[in-house]
């Protein structure tokens, strides 16, 4: 106990000493950490300069200025961003001048800014990008949308808004959605306008559309200049206009267009984001302003409705400066640009970055210049700071701020607006990953790709307050009618020919074209121009080439649609079917005296004859035992078989069938005979009534295999087809100019300087044979399939509208009436009749023969099974007397039926059924009598035993 009391104070002292040591060690560590943090913070500058460069007095500038100041205030008041460092903004006005903007940019860089915000002008951005590249100062542009600024040439240019690259693809999707093929681009001829429209052309090309005309005007153009521009535009076909200008002067376009009557029904106006930016920036757009843009479809940057954006919007009236305009989407991008620079600086400092500037040895002052170029210094940490900016990822008031590998903001999206009344109506969205949709892109991003909706928009109220989708083009109102090339034919002039009366041409093809044009809902002024010298048919391929070269607006006539021609021009729906056929001279073949044998092939004759005999024999076997008509001497029975067999061909057989099996076989056989007779009669009728023609040429294959000359119509594509596709030597081809040449060449033949056959299109051959009273015929089948159509220049809207009109003519019967008017003559059998095609082979009847054969086999099987059963019942109990009664007198001397043999069986089969039944019946009664006798003999014996005396 004493020991414990003595040691306790020592233990307490040791514990206290240990705690004191730990405390002494911890205090220096905390001091050291605080010192390190303080040292880290002390390396940051107390203030940093960020430059802002844009046109203050502009639609974009008036919205961006208060947003930038608000962002600076918010950053400086946020303790988590750049503590102990105050951001200062240095604002310079470019005054919408490329030269002044460059000067202002140089003055701005003199202030040792770490980043520059702006400019809004793409032209100024191009110049300033070279400056910041040299001085390593990141340039964050919230409004320069020129797609070419994304080039590798400008590494320090960072776009914090959406590029026009995506906006133009959105416009192209809208154009495709409504089915337009051509647009007219109206734009300011500066860097932003030219490059944006260039991207639009590429985007439309991917949709199989195009810019038919580029209407450019210089910046600051007068109303008279714009008026002249729109007057020229209004004379063109397209009625779809894409307006890509700046928001400060863009409304002048619509003011002039309205005065020219171009804001009415039938016109389509698509404006890029400049128009919503202008309208949004106005406190309350007046009726005069809104009346200028009624029915316009416009695109606006889409920014998700986040809480951060709603908070910013609620503060807008408080943060905007006096004299500034209303809000537009560029204010959001300007606000986020400041925050992007600040957040990147925070990361930059945390990663050990330092702010320092050094002189550029390339910049030297000269005695003759007052420009102090040496005041421009290089930002030493600019490269590191740039990479930090490009890696940032945060949510701003405009949405997600994150850059892809091409330095574009991720998830570019636009709203599709329809201007009407006193405001605008959103009809859908567009994003680069979901396309057109009525659902917001941020919602679609959350869904699997397969569930994304297809392209769709809400209905649009177009200029003129119409909801019907405009056609998008009209016939040009410039007073110049269409120049239509018409082949000047010298043969087959029923199709197209020169005419003395207006319109100067006539024929089937012309009537079809005129009827189709009359169905169009608009007038089509036109002049027909004959193509050719009138001495020979023109080369149709050359006529099509003239259309492709814009020497003609269209080609109307018997123009065949071929693959090579479709590469040059656009064709309408075919109004006449066509195809190459072979026509030959023929000789009439006299009917042969043995023509009655031609309906059946020899195999069919042999099988049919064999079945007649086979069925006759089967019926004889089935009827022989019970039918007296099938009995008698062997010679008589053989004659009965032959007579009965072939008399069934005419259903004149006299013998009646009494057995069930015999009747079954006869019924099936008579059905087969009925089918054979009917087929034979029809085939023989066809062979004897249709005129038989023969020719050495049987079709295109035999024509190719021969070395005979071939006639081809002058100017036809058949010449090139036979040479290029079928490899026929040109030396074998003979050009024929007129129908008389056709007749002479075929009648003379190869030996007399003519041709063996003519290859031409079916419509010509039909007319040719009709006019020659069917003296010629075609052989083989059509070996090409094509049609006739009207040729127009590439992407001509008339080709589409006339195709619809041709289909309407076909549906209402007018096309057939026109054909009957010009081409209704003697109708010839277009193809030679071939005897072999009418001959009936065994293939067509083997099923019937199979059924009949199976019926005969089954009947014989049943018959013989029945005979064997009777024979087995009869043989064991038969007696000699019975044998004598069965067979004929000559066979009754046989000793016993027990000695069975094949001859006995045949005798049994040959015996009448009635007699067999009688014997079996008698045998049965005798058996019963014998049993009774045995029973009677046994009964007396038992009685005797019963009554015998004891």
* Pairwise CA distance, residues 270 & 272, whole Å: 7
**Does residue 909 belong to any structural domain of this protein?**
no
Residue 41 lies in a domain: no
Strands 791-792 and 554-555: antiparallel
Domains contained in the chain, number: 5
Strands 587-588 and 710-713: unpaired
Residues 701, 769, single domain; the answer is yes
Q: What is the dihedral of CA 737, 739, 744, 750, to 10 degrees?
A: 60
Alpha-carbon torsion angle 52, 53, 54, 57, nearest 10: 70
CB atoms within 10 A of CB 777: 21
Decide if 600 is inside a domain: yes
**Strand, coil or helix: 367:** coil
Q: Which residues pair with 734 in a beta bridge?
A: 711
Do 638 and 682 have their domain in common? yes
**Same structural domain, 717 and 733:** yes
Nearest of 128, 89, 117 to residue 330 by alpha carbon: 117
Neighbouring residues of 642: CB distance < 8 A, sequence distance ≥ 6: 613, 616
| CA 20 – CA 638 distance, rounded (Å) | 143
- Helical H runs in 630-707? 634-647, 660-689, 700-705
Q: Where are the alpha helices (DSSP H) in 213-328?
A: 223-234, 251-259, 274-281, 287-292, 307-319
**Nearest alpha carbon to residue 143 among 167, 117, 165:** 117
Residue 668 lies in a domain: yes
Burial category of 826 from C-beta neighbours within 10 Å (exposed 0-12, middle 13-18, buried 19 and up): exposed
Residue 113 preceded by cis peptide, ω within 30: no
Whole-angstrom CA distances from 609 to 616, 673, 697, 850 are: 11, 11, 37, 15
Q: Could you tell me if residue 462 is inside a domain? A: no
Specify the pLDDT at position 117: 94
Domain assignment of residue 833, yes or no = no
What distance in Å separates the CA atoms of residue 851 and residue 849, rounded to the nearest whole number?
Answer: 5
Q: Is 585 helix (H, G, I), strand (E, B) or coil?
A: strand
In which residue ranges of the chain is pLDDT below 70? 1-42, 320-325, 364-374, 449-453, 477-479, 587-592, 595, 624-625, 627-632, 636, 645-646, 649-658, 688-695, 824-838, 873-950
295 and 171 within one domain: yes
Domain end call among 689, 708, 733: 689
Do 185 and 291 reside in the same domain of the chain?
A: yes
Note whether residue 868 is domain-resident: no
Task: Say if 806 falls within a structural domain.
Answer: yes
Here the tokens at position 146 are 């020129």
Same domain? 300 vs 311:
no
Q: β-strands 791-792, 423-431: how paired?
A: unpaired
Answer with the one of 767, 785, 803 that is the final residue of a domain: 785
Does residue 168 share a domain with residue 157?
no
Does 548 share its domain with 611?
no
Cα–Cα distances in Å, from 549 out to 213, 480, 541?
18, 18, 12
pLDDT value of position 950: 33
CA 766, CA 757: separation in Å to the nearest integer? Answer: 15
pTM metric for this prediction: 0.67
* Shared domain check, 269 and 168: yes
- Residue written as tokens 């040959």? 910
CB distance 578 to 787 below 8 Å: yes
* Domain CATH for 714: 3.40.190.10
Give the C-alpha separation, 551 to 170, whole Å.
Answer: 36
Query: Which of 656, 689, 722 corresponds to the end of one domain?
Result: 689
Predicted confidence at residue 374, as pLDDT, reads 66
Asked if residues 553 and 797 have their Cβ atoms less than 8 Å apart, the reply is no
Supply the pLDDT for residue 690.
Answer: 56
Rounded Cα–Cα distance for residues 381 and 368 (Å): 33
CA distance 702 to 759: 13
Which ranges of 455-601 would DSSP assign to H, the alpha helix? 508-518, 540-548, 563-566
Reading the block at residue 338, the tokens are: 């400041």
Class of residue 188 by CB neighbours under 10 A (exposed 0-12, middle 13-18, buried 19+):
buried
Residues 6+ apart with CB under 8 A from 699: 582, 779, 780, 781, 783
DSSP 436: E
Q: Are 489 and 534 in contact (CB under 8 A)?
A: no
The span from the first CA to the last CA of the chain, in angstroms, equals 149
Q: What is the 3-state secondary structure (H, E, C) of 147-213?
A: HHHHCCCCCCEEECCCCHHHHHHHHHHHHHHCCCCEEEEEEECCHHHHHHHHHHHHHHHHCCCEEEE
Q: How far apart are CA 79 and CA 81, in angstroms?
A: 6
Rounded-to-integer distance, Cα 473 and Cα 654, Å? 86
The SS3 call for residue 12 is: helix
Length of the chain: 950
Would you say 332 and 304 are in contact if contact means Cβ atoms under 8 Å apart?
no
Residues 295, 428, single domain; the answer is: yes
The CA-based diameter of the chain, rounded to the nearest angstrom, is: 188
Q: Give per-residue pLDDT as tens, 152-200.
A: 899 999 999 999 999 999 999 999 999 898 999 999 999 999 999 999 9
Q: Give the contacts of 931 (CB within 8 A, at least 6 positions apart).
A: none
Neighbouring C-beta atoms of residue 875, cutoff 10 Å = 14
List, for residues 438-487, the tens digit of each pLDDT value. Answer: 999 999 888 775 444 578 899 999 999 999 999 898 877 666 789 999 99
CATH number at residue 149: 3.40.50.2300
Gap between the Cα atoms of 430 and 172, Å rounded = 11
- Positive or negative, the Cα torsion across 394, 396, 399, 403? negative
Q: Determine contact, residues 396/70, Cβ cutoff 8 Å.
A: no
DSSP lists the bridge partners of residue 93 as: 54
Q: Is 54 helix (H, G, I), strand (E, B) or coil?
A: strand
The answer to whether the beta carbons of residues 532 and 509 sit under 8 Å apart is no
Q: Which single residue is written with the structure tokens 């052309």? A: 201
Nearest to 337 by CA among 65, 153, 44: 65
Written as six digits, the tokens of 533 are: 């010298």
The whole domain housing 530 covers 482-577+794-823
Q: Is the same domain home to 168 and 132?
A: no
Identify the helix (H) or strand (E) that includes residue 606. helix 602-623
* Tokens, residue 844: 């067509």
- Half-sphere exposure of 79 toward its Cβ, with a 13 Å CA cutoff? 0
What are the residues whose beta carbons fall under 8 Å from the beta carbon of 300, sequence distance 6 or more? 273, 276, 277, 280, 329, 414, 415, 417
Looking at residue 144, what DSSP letter applies? -
Whether residue 680 is found in the same domain as residue 810: no
The H or E element that residue 911 is part of is none
Q: List pLDDT tens digits, range 759-796.
A: 999 999 989 988 887 788 888 888 898 999 999 998 88
Predicted confidence at residue 939, as pLDDT, reads: 46
Q: Which among 555, 554, 558 has a CA at the least distance from the CA of 575? A: 558
d(CA 243, CA 257): 12
Residue at token pair 């479709």: 566
Instruction: Establish whether the linkage from the previous residue to 198 is cis, with ω within 30° of 0.
Output: no
């Amino acid at each position: 106990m004493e020991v414990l009391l003595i040691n306790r104070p020592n233990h307490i002292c040791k514990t206290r000493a240990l705690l004191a040591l730990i405390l002494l060690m911890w205090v220096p560590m905390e001091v050291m950490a605080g010192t390190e943090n303080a040292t880290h913070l002390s390396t940051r500058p107390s203030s940093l300069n960020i430059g802002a460069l844009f046109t203050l007095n502009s639609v974009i500038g008036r919205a961006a200025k208060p947003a930038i100041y608000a962002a600076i205030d918010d950053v400086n008041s946020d303790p988590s961003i750049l503590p102990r460092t105050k951001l200062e903004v240095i604002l310079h006005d470019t005054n919408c001048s490329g030269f002044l903007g460059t000067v202002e940019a140089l003055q701005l860089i003199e202030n040792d800014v770490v980043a520059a915000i702006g400019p809004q002008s793409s032209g100024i951005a191009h110049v300033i990008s070279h400056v910041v590249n040299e001085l390593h100062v990141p340039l964050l542009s919230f409004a320069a949308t020129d797609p070419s600024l994304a080039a590798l040439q400008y590494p320090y240019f960072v776009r914090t808004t959406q590029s026009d690259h995506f906006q133009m693809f959105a416009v192209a999707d809208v154009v495709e959605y409504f089915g337009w093929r051509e647009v007219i681009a109206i734009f300011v001829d500066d860097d932003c306008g030219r490059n944006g429209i260039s991207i639009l052309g590429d985007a439309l090309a991917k949709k199989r559309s195009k810019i038919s005309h580029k209407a450019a005007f210089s910046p600051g153009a007068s109303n008279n200049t714009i008026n002249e521009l729109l007057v020229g535009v209004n004379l063109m076909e397209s009625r779809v206009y894409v307006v890509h200008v700046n928001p400060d002067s863009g409304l002048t376009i619509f003011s002039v267009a309205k005065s020219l009557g171009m804001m009415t029904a039938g016109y389509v106006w698509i404006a890029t984001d400049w128009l919503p930016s202008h309208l949004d920036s106005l406190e309350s757009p007046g009726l005069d302003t809104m009346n200028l843009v009624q029915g316009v479809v416009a695109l606006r940057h889409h920014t998700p409705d986040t809480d951060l954006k709603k908070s910013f919007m609620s503060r807008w009236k408080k943060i905007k400066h006096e004299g500034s305009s209303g809000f537009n989407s560029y204010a959001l991008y300007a606000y986020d640009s400041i925050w992007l620079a600040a957040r990147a600086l925070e990361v930059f400092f945390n990663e050990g970055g330092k702010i320092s500037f050094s002189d550029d040895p390339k910049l030297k002052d000269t005695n003759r210049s007052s420009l102090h170029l040496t005041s421009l210094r290089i930002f030493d940490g600019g490269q590191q700071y740039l990479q930090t900016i490009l890696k940032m990822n945060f949510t701003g008031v405009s949405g997600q701020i994150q850059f892809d590998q091409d330095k574009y903001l991720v998830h570019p999206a636009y709203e599709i607006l329809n201007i009407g009344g006193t405001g605008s109506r959103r009809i859908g969205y567009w994003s680069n990953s979901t396309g057109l949709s009525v659902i917001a892109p941020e919602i679609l991003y959350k869904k699997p790709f397969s569930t994304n909706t297809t392209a769709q928009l809400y209905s649009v109220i177009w200029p003129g307050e119409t909801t019907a989708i405009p056609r998008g083009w009209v016939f040009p109102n410039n007073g110049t009618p269409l120049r239509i090339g018409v082949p000047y034919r010298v043969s087959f002039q029923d199709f197209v020919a020169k005419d003395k009366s207006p319109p100067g041409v006539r024929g089937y093809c012309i009537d079809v074209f005129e009827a189709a044009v009359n169905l169009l809902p608009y007038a089509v002024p036109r002049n027909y121009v004959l193509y050719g010298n009138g001495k020979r048919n023109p080369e149709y391929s050359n006529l099509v080439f003239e259309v492709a070269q814009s020497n003609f607006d269209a080609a109307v006539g018997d123009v065949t649609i071929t693959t090579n021609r479709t590469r040059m021009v656009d064709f309408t729906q075919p109004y006449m079917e066509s195809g190459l056929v072979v026509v030959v001279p023929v000789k009439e073949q006299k009917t042969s005296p043995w023509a009655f044998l031609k309906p059946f092939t020899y195999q069919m004759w042999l099988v049919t004859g064999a079945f007649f005999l086979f069925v006759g024999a089967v019926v004889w076997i089935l009827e022989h035992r019970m039918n007296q008509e099938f009995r008698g001497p062997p010679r008589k029975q053989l004659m009965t078989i032959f007579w009965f067999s072939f008399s069934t061909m005419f259903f004149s057989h006299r013998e009646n069938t009494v057995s069930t099996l015999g009747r079954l076989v006869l019924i099936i056989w008579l059905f087969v005979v009925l089918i054979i007779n009917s087929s034979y009669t029809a085939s023989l009728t066809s062979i004897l009534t249709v005129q038989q023609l023969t020719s050495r040429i049987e079709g295109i294959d035999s024509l190719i295999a021969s070395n005979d000359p071939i006639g081809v119509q002058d100017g036809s594509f058949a010449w090139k087809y036979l040479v290029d596709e079928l490899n026929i030597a040109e030396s074998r081809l003979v050009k024929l100019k007129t129908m008389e040449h056709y007749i002479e060449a075929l009648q003379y033949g190869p030996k007399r300087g003519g041709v063996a056959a003519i290859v031409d299109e079916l419509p010509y051959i039909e007319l040719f044979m009709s006019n020659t009273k069917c003296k010629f015929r075609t052989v083989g089948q059509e070996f090409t399939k094509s049609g006739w159509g009207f040729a127009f220049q590439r992407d001509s809207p008339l080709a589409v509208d006339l195709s619809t009109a041709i289909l309407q003519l076909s549906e209402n019967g007018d096309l057939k009436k026109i054909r009957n008017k010009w081409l209704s003559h003697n109708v010839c059998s277009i193809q030679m009749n071939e005897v072999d095609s009418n001959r009936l082979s065994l293939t067509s009847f083997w099923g019937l023969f199979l059924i009949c054969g199976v019926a005969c086999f089954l009947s014989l099987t049943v018959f013989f099974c029945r005979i064997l059963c009777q024979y087995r019942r009869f043989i064991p109990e038969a007696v000699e007397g019975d044998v004598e009664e069965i067979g004929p007198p000559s066979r009754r001397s046989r000793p016993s039926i027990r000695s069975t043999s094949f001859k006995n069986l045949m005798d049994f089969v040959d015996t009448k059924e009635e007699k067999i039944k009688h014997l079996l019946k008698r045998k049965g009664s005798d058996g019963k009598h014998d049993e009774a006798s045995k029973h009677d003999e046994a009964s007396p014996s038992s009685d005797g035993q019963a009554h015998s005396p004891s």
